[in-house]
Structure 1
Amino acid sequence: MQKSRLVIALSAALVTASCASTQSTVAQSTTTHKAPTPATLKADPLASAEGVAELTLEQIMADPDWMGRFPENAFWSLDGQDILFYQKREGSEVRDLMIIKGGQGKPQAVPLSEQHLYIADEKESSVAGDWLAYTYKGNVFVRFGNGEVKQLTRDSERQHNLQAMADGSLSYQQGQQFFRIDVRSGLSQQMADIQFADEPQANEAPADYIAKEEQKLIQFVQKERKNRAEQFEYQQQLQQQNDTLAPQAFYLDKRMQWVDGRLSPNGRYLLVAMSEPQSWRDDGDIMPNYITEDGRIEPEKVRRRVADAKPQQHQLVLLDLQKHTQTSLTYNTLDGWNEDVLAAVKAENAKAEGQSYESKKEPRAIQLMADWGWENGAIQWNEEGSEVAVMLEAWDNKDRWIATVDFGAKQLEQQDRLHDDAWINYTHNEFGWVDEDTLWFMSEADGYSHLYARDLDQQTTQLTEGQYVVETPTLSADSSQLYFQANQPHPGIYEIY
């Protein structure tokens, strides 16, 4: 059992920052910026802290700076040497980025011109461990082992979904396109382009009898169609045979929209999740806002009520980038995919109304597991790109599945099913790969959140057990250890193991 170095360092060093922030003298503030003081109620912070002043309604409603501007959202620097956190400016809602170099000494404000060296919206390490790629404000950076930081993209587009490739390069997603980039030379190439549209054709089929006769009888029309067909075929062959050009786009069902997708580290496959378009609200989902700048009531758009939510179904499509083929993966290989899990409730409701209910099997709405609080997502490839696992949930929240893809049979293969008559948690369901054919995952199968390992030979091993909760598992760089938090000694005390 080990205490977190971050927790210890924060308790020893960051308290200094919060205490210093309560001083009334601006010169003692740890930030390098001074914002104008707004016209708000204020009270004597020192008097309150010493228990001299009475805690009045005026004091309670005063600017919260009197309670201290405490460190917020602490995190490690990219090299793990420094501690960073955000701190509220005095009299302002702006948060400044602060740094404690080496985890010791007084905090200092990080200049705005250097924030890209410390803030990572998304991180991905190379397989060899010789570089760390990350995104900052939608652009891609890479940090090498010697501390050098190199910017790979700089534009108004948003790059994300970083993936370390098996050959040492990096891939990222931009819109519905995937790119691979050499982190040292900066040369990038498009790997896949996803379009939800009909595939282009050289000529459209005649729409009616008149068009059909026109194409049959008019030689000029026939010649024009022949020329277009030849040009189209030429461009198709050129794109297929010339490796310097971008690959052909994949055209998926135009009635669908993008949900998620992950490129395999070997560059062979792209697993895509898509769904029918569904709005997060209806026209009648509004909330009146009475406090506005112009003194008039404004109707604010809000999400729909839970009772009005509609089933959401995700469809998985496996794209073979080498053969340029696409295969839909169905859910009928999952246990309970068509089970009437609400049969007892429906029968009870029907009985209360003097009716009867006959249970029948129907396909359930199944989607990618919502990754609330995760960092890795619901689609996970192993390092070699030889296996991929997906975490799925039933829309009725009664089942969670982990499945891999059988590339030969082009179907899902169930690895684990978690069923709960009440509710499947969004949290306590993280998962990933230990090695090329072994998964680790969290499950509440025994009533508590615990860690499990499963090899693809159908063997599942429970790694932790007992009346406590496991949280935030992290696999070590060499995949030999799993670190996690757990409240084993006491329900309210979490230690690191």
Structure 2
Amino acid sequence: MRLFFRLLLLSFFPVAALAQPATNSAPLEIDRIMQGERFVGFLPERIQWHPNSQEVFFTWNPEQDTLRSLYSVKRGEEKPAPVSPERQRELPEPGAHNSDYTLMAYAKDGDLFLYDIAADSSRQLTHTGQRESAPSFTSDDRQIIFTADRNLFAWHLQEQRIEQLTYFEKGSGGGSGSPDAQQTWLDEQQMELFEVLRWRDAQDRLEKERREALRPDRPQAIHLGSKSWSNLQLSPDQRFVTLRLRTDATTESTQVPHFVDPTGYLDIKKARPKVGHSQDTYEMGVYDRQRDTFYTVSTLSLEGIYDKPAYRMAVYGDTAAQYESPRAVILHGPVFSDQGRAVVVVRALDNKTRWIAELDLPTGQLRQIDRQQDDAWVGGPGISGWNFSTGTLGWLDEQTIFYQSEATGYSHLYTHNLDTDERTALTSGDFEIRNAQLSRDKQTFFIIANAESPFEQHFYHLPVKGGSLQKVTDAPGKYEVEIAPDEKTLALRYSYSNQPWELYLMDNQPGSAMRRVTESTTKAFQSYAWREPEIIRFKASDGASVPARLYRPKKGTKKGKAVIFVHGAGYLQNVHRWWSSYYREYMFHNLLVDNGFTVLDIDYRGSDGYGRDWRTGIYRHMGGKDLSDQVDGAAYLVEELGIDPQRIGIYGGSYGGFITLMALFTSPGTFECGAALRSVTDWAHYNHPYTSNILNTPVEDSIAFRQSSPIYFAEGLEDRLLILHGMVDDNVQFQDVVRLSQRLIELGKENWELAVFPVEPHGFIEPSSWTDEYRRIFKLFQGM
């Protein structure tokens, strides 16, 4: 949060104002559009409600200052204003509410605070050298539980005192271990022979007993050896404490050299390991405070815990269907009911299975509630992943939980009665529930879904007993929704295909009007009539209907030039009716169209927003259907739009750069040229969480890595290739293109170039680098 230098006054604008294009278009220039936010405008970000539900905060920079700053607008008022540093210091952070939402506990700068909502005042509870965090109220609202020094503490509100609830620490807590038989014999002999030793031993034992009798009532130390621990949770009755235990694996990190360093020397920084490295292992521990016992949760009762993945038999002929030992897992949660029932999410580290189970706290045993199995990988919106989250999971009452599952091929919302084992689907259809949140009164789900079409996301209400989705938002596009704590008002970040994100307020009721708060775009941006791309579908060679965005020049395109853009991130959507995260590329596509190009932007197999089958269509073969979708897109341009087959280019960054390489290496002649930005060239050198989902690991599934990695197909290069890469990329590292360059040199290839950017990470930062990069790309396409 930064200081604003001047106050900006804005009126509210109606939603319709967004739809007004510029009447006179100024010509686009690469160096201008690659200024990014300096050209478009700094859009509102990090939307957050004040806990009193009367004010919304967001970061903004309408004055084009050096940095963003904090702004706010009060509910019912018309003008956002900057927030002073003095007020920022006083503002409460997001926290946890008591049962009637009159108080909120929060942590700020490492200390605990208690905010009284009615009085709009905070008081500081702690002021210590250690860091307190993660406060929550007990079920009776009499205590605030928090974490400090990786242990749980309680702040007693009435007594105004702190109580330590756990004492976990590393180490064994003992001596050097149990003595052997020889040492035991010698100890006994000494005691038998010498009176002075017997007397001293008796003194020591008596002194220890007296110390123990006089010891204050504090938790006993529990020694966890070399394991790390996190995610401490206290059951509502305060009897049980759960925690996640981690045993660190021995891994070798990669290194990223920084050649342009302020010191003038080469600075080498450590980065991530590579896919297939040894993985950390996890357990869930339970401490029973009443019995003073500690134990770990057993996963042996889970269905399929010993199962090997299907590809092992299908591809490699592995005849054993099960492992001798249970699969490694990670446990998320628990999530407690009001009266202390606990459910957890268990995710296999091989990514193939997600279980939801009830945890019996006194025994550490699990009772399976739901099992989602996928021979590819478990994923989708609202479903737990590598982010240490349970996904959508909660309690409706003491018998019923709710969660999301891709059981039908699309992520939908379900309830499950734990006593009757009855599961109910609350939503269904060929669409995805993107996010679900239960209302405070537990009568309504607040939902984001793409139920209208894959190309829009709206905000809905849904009764907890099921029924029809009740649409709250109206205008086509996408809505990022922050619900006020009192759930009466929504703060919305809304955008459309050719209209960037702006902040709106509206009542949390269908049919309510959106009241615009911000006007962020610059006059330079507004001076151009930005195109709304046409959303089309073309038929792939395997019969699939492939969505794409099409940009066409006004004049006829017969025998014209075309460019196919390949979005990055693999699991990402770019065919939609909202402002793209690839906004520089969107502006570049407008520039290409101004110069007579047709542009096709494809949501290929593996893209987000279209359900499980589309998401996993690249399993074990990246560069398979995702690439054939690009090739089929080129055929569509030729056959349906009359594009010259000898004048089609392709480009993309990250995953898009990888596809560009695979296109030129394995489908020569389809594209006249290609630009590969920050591209993966060998998946065995990428990270583990993303890659192992799709390709497993190089040792376990070498075939998948070999058929998916461009470096193995470089001999197929015939068409012009431009490679562009940042030298301090710690994601797709510079080593990727260095290795590919050596391969191309050894193969004697001549029609390729490598442009390097010494100070750029994976996502470029400097406008000069963006400009240089896209000038080269534009020149490449102009040469078709």
**TM superposition score normalised by structure 2:** 0.51
1:446 equivalent among 390, 396, 408: 408
The one-letter amino acid of 1:470's match is I
Cα displacement (A) at 1:211: 6.6
Cα displacement (A) at 1:218: 4.6
1:84 equivalent among 57, 64, 76: 57
8 Å CA contact retained: 1:402, 1:417:
yes
2:374 equivalent among 403, 420, 445: 420
1:491 equivalent among 449, 454, 463: 454
Q: Write out per-residue CA displacement over residues 268-300 of structure 1, whole angstroms, 9 at most, x where no aligned residue.
A: 111122121236x515x1122222112332221
- Counterpart in the other structure of 1:126: 98
The one-letter amino acid of 2:441's match is D
**Structure 2 SS opposite 1:488:** coil
2:399 equivalent among 427, 431, 437: 437
Point out where structure 2 has 5 or more consecutive residues left out of the alignment: 11-21, 384-391, 461-784
How do 1:320-335 residues align onto structure 2 when only pairs under 5 Å count?
A: 320-335=288-303
8 Å CA contact retained: 1:116, 1:136:
no
- Residue 473 and residue 138 in structure 1: after superposition, are their counterparts in 2 closer, same or farther (change >3 A)? farther
Q: Write out per-residue CA displacement over residues 294-331 of structure 1, whole angstroms, 9 at most, x where no aligned residue.
A: 233222110111232x3443222221112211232210
- Residue 236 and residue 336 in structure 1: after superposition, are their counterparts in 2 closer, same or farther (change >3 A)? farther
* Of 213-222 and 435-444, the range deviating more from structure 2: 213-222
Is the aligned partner of 1:366 residue 2:329? yes
Point out where structure 1 has 5 or more consecutive residues left out of the alignment: 1-20, 32-48, 370-377
**Structure 2 SS opposite 1:307:** coil
Cα displacement (A) at 1:262: 0.8
* Of 262-271 and 295-304, the range deviating more from structure 2: 295-304
Q: Matches of 2:203 and 2:174 in 1, distance apart?
A: 16
Cα displacement (A) at 1:334: 0.9
8 Å CA contact retained: 2:327, 2:348:
yes
When the two structures are aligned, how many residues end up with a matched partner? 431
- Residue 367 and residue 198 in structure 1: after superposition, are their counterparts in 2 closer, same or farther (change >3 A)? same
The one-letter amino acid of 2:241's match is L
- Counterpart in the other structure of 1:10: none
Cα displacement (A) at 1:139: 2.2
Q: Matches of 1:119 and 1:222 in 2, distance apart?
A: 63
2:220 equivalent among 248, 252, 260: 248
How do 1:89-488 residues align onto structure 2 when only pairs under 5 Å count?
A: 94-102=67-75, 104-120=77-93, 122-146=94-118, 147-168=120-141, 169-183=143-157, 186-200=160-174, 209=183, 212=187, 217-239=193-215, 245-252=217-224, 254-278=225-249, 281-283=251-253, 285-308=254-277, 310-340=278-308, 342=309, 344-350=310-316, 357-362=319-324, 363-369=326-332, 378-384=333-339, 386-407=340-361, 409-425=363-379, 427-429=381-383, 430-457=392-419, 458-488=421-451
Cα displacement (A) at 1:177: 1.2
Q: Matches of 2:191 and 2:272 in 1, distance apart?
A: 52
- Residue 287 and residue 323 in structure 1: after superposition, are their counterparts in 2 closer, same or farther (change >3 A)? same
Q: Write out per-residue CA displacement over residues 14-62 of structure 1, whole angstroms, 9 at most, x where no aligned residue.
A: xxxxxxx9xxxx867579xxxxxxxxxxxxxxxxx99676543443455
Q: Matches of 1:93 and 1:391 in 2, distance apart?
A: 44
Percent of matched pairs sharing the same residue: 25
Q: Matches of 1:124 and 1:316 in 2, distance apart?
A: 24
**Structure 2 SS opposite 1:435:** coil
- Counterpart in the other structure of 1:35: none
8 Å CA contact retained: 1:311, 1:365:
no
Cα displacement (A) at 1:394: 0.2
The one-letter amino acid of 2:210's match is Y
8 Å CA contact retained: 2:381, 2:435:
no
Q: Matches of 1:389 and 1:63 in 2, distance apart?
A: 45
8 Å CA contact retained: 2:51, 2:117:
no
**Structure 2 SS opposite 1:115:** helix
Q: Matches of 1:100 and 1:452 in 2, distance apart?
A: 37
Cα displacement (A) at 1:259: 3.7
Q: Matches of 2:453 and 2:157 in 1, distance apart?
A: 47
8 Å CA contact retained: 1:273, 1:314:
yes
Q: Write out per-residue CA displacement over residues 364-415 of structure 1, whole angstroms, 9 at most, x where no aligned residue.
A: 001124xxxxxxxx3211223x211111100010111111122455411111
Q: Matches of 1:347 and 1:206 in 2, distance apart?
A: 48
Q: Matches of 1:238 and 1:434 in 2, distance apart?
A: 46
The one-letter amino acid of 1:345's match is Y
Q: Matches of 2:376 and 2:237 in 1, distance apart?
A: 40
Q: CA-atom RMSD, angstroms?
A: 3.0
- Residue 204 and residue 411 in structure 1: after superposition, are their counterparts in 2 closer, same or farther (change >3 A)? closer
**Structure 2 SS opposite 1:235:** helix
The one-letter amino acid of 1:423's match is W
8 Å CA contact retained: 1:256, 1:274:
yes
Cα displacement (A) at 1:178: 0.5
- Residue 216 and residue 72 in structure 1: after superposition, are their counterparts in 2 closer, same or farther (change >3 A)? farther
**TM superposition score normalised by structure 1:** 0.78
- Residue 54 and residue 388 in structure 1: after superposition, are their counterparts in 2 closer, same or farther (change >3 A)? same
Q: Using CA pairs under 8 Å that are at least 6 residues apart, name the structure with larger relative contact order, 1 or 2.
A: 2
**Structure 1 SS opposite 2:313:** helix
- Counterpart in the other structure of 1:3: none
8 Å CA contact retained: 1:30, 1:109:
no
Q: Matches of 1:395 and 1:128 in 2, distance apart?
A: 39
Q: Matches of 1:235 and 1:90 in 2, distance apart?
A: 67
